[in-house]
């Protein structure tokens, strides 16, 4: 998939663009699914692999995939420090599964050389629910989303072990051995989910993020 052309928002007017330009980090993982979901929610999705592309977006999605591989690719593509800087400056971001791990301020059960972005003050445990064979789906109550529970798909998913002050917990596992574990959070303009809303066809989480970007 080719990157869509980017038009920078009109910063001098103070107006929020009706179609915010939202980048999808396109180094590894389920990129196309997020692109399709964002387009369906009224955003202009673009692929981000370079610092110049990162500089041109209003927000960024960090997709699911393999968090250690993505962190190494961020360093190889010289995106790690520019992305940290933009997050410190208030860039809205949404991370699903591996993206949640990357956005954490602390990661448990990961490799010593793995990098993270400290976009949300939280401690995340990698592969917390188990291996690939332990993947599962459940109906998940999600704060702030109308229309009832979200169908959540967990694939080698993390969970949040510590949510810092100022972090809003949006969803926890409702039942089973992992009942009460935190699986969706928001801090300011940054949103993260343990699960993959991009694979179910339910666009409500993406709509929430697009509205966050419009309001940022």
- The catalytic residue positions are 97, 196, 198
Distance in angstroms (rounded) separating the CA atoms of residues 110 and 101: 10
* Residues that constitute the known binding site: 65-67, 126, 155-156
Residues placed in the known binding site for L-glutamine: 65-67, 126, 155-156
What distance in Å separates the CA atoms of residue 58 and residue 47, rounded to the nearest whole number? Answer: 13
Count CA atoms within 13 Å of residue 180 on its CB side. 3
Contact 171, 139 (CB under 8 A): no
Three-state secondary structure call for residue 100: helix
Contact status, residue 153 vs residue 199, Cβ threshold 8 Å: yes
Cα–Cα distance list, 42 to 46, 108, 183, 184, 206 (Å): 13, 36, 26, 23, 10
How would you label 40-50 residue by residue, b for 16+ Cβ within 10 Å and e otherwise?
A: ebebbbbbbee
Burial environment of residue 8 by CB neighbours within 10 A (0 to 12, 13 to 18, 19 or more): exposed
Terminus-to-terminus CA distance in the chain, angstroms? 28
């Amino acid at each position: 998939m080719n990157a869509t052309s980017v038009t920078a928002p009109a910063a001098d007017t103070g107006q929020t663009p009706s179609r915010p330009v939202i980048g999808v980090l396109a180094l590894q993982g389920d990129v196309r699914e997020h692109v399709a979901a964002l387009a369906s929610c009224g955003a202009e999705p673009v692929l981000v692999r370079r610092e110049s592309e990162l500089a041109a977006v209003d927000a960024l999605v960090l997709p699911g995939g393999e968090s250690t591989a993505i962190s190494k690719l961020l360093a190889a593509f010289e995106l790690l420090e520019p992305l940290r800087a933009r997050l410190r400056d208030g860039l809205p971001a949404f991370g699903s599964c591996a993206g949640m791990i990357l956005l954490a301020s602390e990661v448990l059960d990961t490799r010593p050389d793995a990098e993270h972005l400290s976009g949300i003050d939280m401690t995340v445990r990698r592969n917390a629910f188990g291996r690939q064979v332990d993947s599962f789906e459940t109906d998940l109550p999600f704060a702030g989303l109308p229309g009832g529970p979200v169908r959540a798909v967990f694939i080698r998913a993390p969970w949040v072990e510590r949510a810092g002050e100022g972090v809003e917990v949006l969803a926890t596992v409702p039942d089973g051995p992992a009942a009460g574990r935190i699986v969706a959070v928001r801090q300011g303009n940054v949103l993260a989910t343990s699960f993959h809303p991009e694979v179910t066809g339910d666009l409500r989480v993406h709509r929430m993020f697009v509205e966050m970007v419009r309001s940022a």
